[in-house]
Amino acid sequence: MATNSSDYGAYTEKFTLQPPSSHQLPLTGLIFAVKDIFDVDGYVAGFGNPDWARTHSAAVSTAPAVLDMLKAGATCVGKTVMDEMAY
């Protein structure tokens, strides 16, 4: 887990997913992070549970909600902490 003094321990993983287009789009220049419940291609959705994350494979696709944000021009900067198993 990557942390530093400016993220307050909010991230389970930091990475960058750029929008597919360099054109000016409605969300160009904005960033967002997703809870650890959303599938992101190549990353494990851990649902806030380290045992779940350790025993499951990385996603092979990205959740439609995340794709919509990317297609609108926003940049995803990682996955954030969540309550275990969404409770």
Q: Quick one: pLDDT at residue 7?
A: 85
At 79 the pLDDT is: 97
Domain coverage including residue 64: 11-86
In a domain, 45, yes or no: yes
For position 6, what pLDDT does the model report? 80
Residue 2 resides in a domain: no
pLDDT, mean over the chain: 93
Judge whether 4 lies within some domain.
Answer: no
Instruction: Please check whether residue 50 lies inside any domain of the structure.
Output: yes
Give 28-66 pLDDT, tens digit per residue: 999 999 999 999 999 999 999 999 999 999 999 999 999
Q: In this structure, is residue 17 part of a structural domain?
A: yes
pLDDT for the residue 18: 95
Domain tally for the chain? 1
Query: Within a domain: residue 26?
Result: yes
Dump the DSSP string for 18-87.
--S--S--TTTT-EEEEETTS-BTTB---TT-HHHHHHSPPPSS--HHHHHHHHTT-EEEEEE---GGG-
- Whether residue 78 is contained in a domain is answered as yes
Q: What is the pTM of this model?
A: 0.87
